[in-house]
Amino acid sequence: MNDEELNRLIERYYNGESSQEEEESLRAFFATNSPAGFEAEKEIFSYFQSPGSVAEASPDLETRIMARIDSLEANKHFLRRYLLSVVSIAAGLLILAGTYFFINEKVKSVDTFSDPSIAYAETMKILYAVSEQMNKGESSMKPFGKLNEMTTRGIKAISESSDKIEKNMNLFTKPFENASDKLVNKDNIK
């Protein structure tokens, strides 16, 4: 068998188009020959020449498989219930511990000044500092106020211009509307 015919038969075999006789000729060819480049095909057809024996399944195989599946399912449900209860208990303990530390910190607030006049002076100092910072922030926002004012003026000017244009357009379209009304009335008279 030449390489061209061998390639054609192998292609038909892989496409599932080969006949029984062609497959037999391939088996016979690969049983006696070892052409270069066809090592994989030789292995395939030599396996079909002497197929190994498959052991017969035991009669209770299905029963053993089903029993194993059932035991795995039972273990899975047990583990799921066990893990769920452990995680729930751990979450509860974490919530209790967090609540304890949160409440405990709130209770421990201590007055830092023993003299009320010093406390008042410190509070006023802090409030003045905050006020000063807010005034600085407000002054830096003034350019944005001007920008807003200019935008409002621009929108107002555009609105006034569009109103004037609309009035002038109405002056031009009214004579044409009256003329079309007259034409319609003449047609009705005839």
Model confidence over 89-133: pLDDT tens digits?
999 999 999 888 888 776 555 667 778 888 888 889 999 888 888
Instruction: Give the lowest-confidence range in 24-28, 64-68, 102-106, 126-130.
Output: 102-106
Global pTM reads 0.28
Q: How confident is the model at residue 48 (pLDDT cuts 50, 70, 90)?
A: low
First CA to last CA distance, the chain: 103
**Residue 174 vs residues 75, 126, 177: alpha-carbon distances, Å:** 90, 71, 5
Instruction: Give the single-character DSSP code of 113.
Output: -
Q: Is 80 exceeded by the pLDDT of residue 184?
A: no
How many beta carbons lie within 10 A of that of residue 27, not counting itself? 15
- Of all residues in the chain, what percent carry a pLDDT higher than 90? 5
- Domain range annotation of the chain: 3-49
Q: For residue 1, which of 15, 22, 18 has the smallest C-alpha distance?
A: 22
Q: Which tokens hold the place of 25?
A: 């000729």
Helices 39-49 and 20-32: angle between axes, nearest 10 degrees = 110
